[in-house]
Structure 1
Amino acid sequence: MVLALVVLLALGTTVLFWLRPGELPGQPGGAAAPNATTQVINRGEYLARAGDCVACHTEPNGKAFAGGRAMPTPFGALFVPNITPDDESGIGKWSPDEFYRMMHTGVSRDGTLLYPAMPFASYTKVTRADSDAIYAYLMSVPPVRQANRPHELKFPFNNRDLLLGWRTLYFKEGEYVPDPRQSAEWNRGAYLVQGLGHCAMCHTAINVLGGSSESRAFEGGMIPNQNWYAPSLTSNREAGLGNWDIKDITDLLQVGVSHRGTTYGPMAEVVYNSLQYLTDEDVRAMAVYLKALPQRDSEPPPTSQARLVNPAVMELGRKVYAAQCAMCHGDEGKGHPPAFPPLAGNQSITMASPVNSIRMVLNGGYAPGTRKNPRPHGMPPFSHILGDNEVAAVVTYIRVAWENSGTPVTPAQANDLRKLLPE
């Protein structure tokens, strides 16, 4: 379940909606070669998928890119705007220059400063050519007349003038500049991860001002208002990929499952809406870049914490595991990858934060259905079967058994997350 958590998107919000426009560039099916305009639109469609634009700008079961989706934040609700080419409620009157300025600087057509839930701090790295292609694609989709809803932010966060201070602290404008010391493949991966992918928005801790420190990029953090933990990509004790094979990384990103782990939660939605559509070459480039992220581990490797667990709790956890989990994950936690991920030695199980493990036991989940894995295996929820003591015990058990180096969890932690379940 490594990398199971990112939610790509503004403050981590995604939708259970799958846009199905035309085939991606390079796929068979077209009898005639597309003209230059069609090629640009196709390229823009591909890039819009790389940026997962549909996830924020479409309500569940709503019309594509018509906006209106509520995006909860610690400061109140934002409502995502309509970006169809409707002249009145969308971006139909926008020029390519105005669209690029919005992407590059976070300033709207009328001069309004955008809230950083729109990932312009990442999109600023997108080239003008790619911005123009995305613009061409959005101008080609059906226009939808749907008025934008005003945001519902608490005072003083409803005062956009405060964004000037935020931008001074946390926004650095500028297109991506290739690193001449690195390969073309590495640079392509860096461009996608840092730019359209805006991966740092989830995998970097957010402070009370809604900002993140560039020096702590990709070091992991809780996704606000989603209560999933996006693991560190710079620590091989969390989701760092330094000791992974490239194929396992690409499979996780594009297929949703690999022999090293499976995506669930917000990251599964990112794979479902976005990453599965990228070319093999682009996904490999992202994998090369992610694998090369420098480790920032400053603490000594942890050791097994089994001795700290009350023997009665450990025995309860063992019994629950044997009854509910061993059939899929094995008596020794080795799993049956890629269908059923291993738990023994799984870095996502032993992270300092137990949130994701608790949520998986309570909520269950499925890996995303993708082109390369259309019928994924899933995990059932156990919230209706197990009480808080049993959830805490079994999560504790899998975090410390088989020489895993996690720490115990408490029934109170399980109960806090249970309260988030829909009634």
Structure 2
Amino acid sequence: MSVFKRIYFNFFVFVYLLYALFNKGIAYSYLSEVLIVVGLLMVLWDLRSYEFVWDKRMALLTLFMLMATLYIGRGILEGYGIVDVVRDSVVFNYIIFAFIVYYFKDALPYLKQRLITIYKWYPLCMCCFFLLSSYSTFFRELIIFGDQRIFLYKFGDMGVHLFIASIFLLNGYINMPKRFLILQWILIAYLFLIVSSYSRSGMISFIIPMGVFFLLTKNRALKQQMIKLIKYAPLIVILAMPLYLSTNLEENFQGRSLSIQQLKENAVSIFSSGEEGTTLSDNKVWRLVWWARIVDYTFLGEYFLWGRGLGMSLASTDDVDYDPTEGNLRSPHSFHMTVLARFGVPIFFLWLYWMYLHLRNIRRPDLDPFMLVLLSISFSFLINASFDVFLEGPMGAMPFWIFVGLVYAEESFGNASAREVAGSVAFNKN
């Protein structure tokens, strides 16, 4: 690997680390965009050695990026500001990260090891950040990029990253002494309690993929370990509870706070409509109303073929009554509904078809164990994206498309076994 490629690789992993740890706090750093531009230049510079396997999935991803690029021209011609149009186009343009992963085909084991290392320390880092921002006004209000506080984190996103850390830990890719392993699960339980207090999408983005993984894994020893962990879960939660109750996080704009009652209400509201007039119920209702309007003007209306396009705030054009503290909403809190609204029914169905193609191998009986982990991670991302603004921005899109690219690159070039993935520290310096 050349010197410049190695430098870019380290920069690539470093930016991923920043987005994983700081999330919304560095949303306006534009590091992901810099990474895309530099990555494309690197690929063009080293085009002879760049290769990827062309199949239906990659063809669809290419089509999505092409459509997003064409829609930029449409939005500008319709009179929308170029900044707004380009910002909306990244709904699909972050797919470039999946293609950049192929550029690291000669360092896939090392890339996987670096990602695993990030999630080894993720629970501890997030706990420290929470405690810092809970008890220090300086850290709570600290701003580095744009107008966002550096420790401001979207809890739905955290549910996904917490699932990644947990699934790596369960499968033995993260190794640590037994006493630290117990501490790690306590920290994960603590963070999960926080996530579940503030975000229902974060809660189910952890629970559902974990359940799917349990049902599909063929590793009987791992299943027994997971069952054993479930038995000890009440004790782990009890040990995490003092830390949870002592955390001084502010009430969010929806009126949610850290408390046992809030946990109960969030869990129950997933399966019921809840009391009318409560924030949990109202939050669900305005989403459903908005999604129904999108279905109406696409499937049954004038925007069937091409959608509304890019550049406009969908909340304004769709005449949605929402909480003004949400700001200028550009997405209906569902990536799939965003695709339908902006690109129309044909592209929406192609997006659904791509998801099917991407996840269909998850039930294969001969599926490689590490591939099952990667597809379960993809599933977690897609669940959270169904109920929150997630893949529309770099905080969710960059990690998601990197894992998608890792799935395809692993299928094409990955020869490392699960043991090599867990223990490899070799780096190709040729």
TM-score (norm 2): 0.27
Using CA pairs below 8 Å that are at least 6 residues apart, which structure has the higher relative contact order? Answer: 2
Indicate the structure with greater helix content.
Answer: 2
TM-score (norm 1): 0.27
Indicate the structure with greater strand content.
Answer: 1
